[in-house]
Copies of this chain bind each other. A is one copy, B any other.
Amino acid sequence: MEHRCENCIIRQFNSLRALNKEELKKVSDSKTSKRIKKGDALFIEGQKLDGVFCVRNGVSKLSKLSSNGKEQIVKLTNRGEIMGQRSVIAEDFTNLSATAISDMEVCFIPKEVISNILNTNPYFSLEVLRHMAHDLKEADDVIVNMSQKTVKQRLAEAFIYLKNNYGEDENGFISLTLSRDDYANIVGAATESLIRMISEFKKKGLIKTEGKKIGIVQECTLQELADGF
């Protein structure tokens, strides 16, 4: 037997908390659980989704391929987030691809169930709206950073963001391990440029590395760097 949404803590972190008992039962009865392996895709840009994903565990990247073939990571999802909402609500193709960055456990909820609740429960709509408002604000911030900050500043910011959002292990390394390529695709730079910058940060003693793992050594200096001194 699978988990029941009624008993799932994750729900408290997303818009599903606005559901009443009957709605929750409907969701729980219709949902399916999936395990996604690191590197596998949840969905791909341009696809039509017939439901949303509720992330129980693991991290994924939302990215978009630009015409020159380079990937841009727009957002990393956290535990508890719902993915694919935008596409289901707008009845539109996904504009982003979602790929697991670590092994994931997700629940898939069919769109009919979601649409149905959206049409009848204004509190749920409002909750979804609040989350989307938050995403929109963050997207605006990213736009400003992309155009006004240097790659160096954006990288410094990324390290701090990752530390704050995913924590660090007992040795002071950021828990979420990303490839250099992923880092490049987050800050929007060539991989070689990014690798060089990591070397530079390391040489200056701002960060430490061990294989792919990266640890923040001087958070204050890094923050100052991100803010442009």
Contacts and interface: CB of A to CB of B under 8 A. Distances in A.
8 contacts: A64-B141, A74-B143, A95-B140, A118-B122, A118-B129, A119-B126, A125-B126, A147-B188
B148 A72 contact: yes
Number of copies of this chain that the complex holds: 2
A86 B144 contact: no
Contacts of A70: 148
Given A126-B118, A132-B129, A144 B89 contact: no
Contacts of A132: 129, 132-133, 136
Interface residues of A, number: 46
A146 interface: yes
A interface, over-half SS: helix
A92 B137 contact: yes
Interface of A: 64, 66-68, 70, 72, 74, 85-86, 89-90, 92, 95-96, 118-123, 125-126, 128-130, 132-137, 139-149, 187-188, 227-228
B125 A228 contact: no
Contacts of A134: 90
A89 B122 contact: no
A146 B142 CA distance: 10
A147 B74 CA distance: 10
Contacts of A68: 148, 228
Nearest to A140: B74
Nearest to A128: B129
Contacts of A187: 147
Contact of A95 (B66, B141, B188): B141
A156 to B, nearest CB: 13
Nearest to A66: B148
Given A64-B144, A66-B148, 16 more contacts: A64-B140, A66-B149, A68-B228, A72-B144, A74-B144, A85-B133, A89-B133, A90-B134, A121-B122, A122-B122, A132-B132, A135-B136, A139-B140, A142-B143, A143-B146, A147-B187
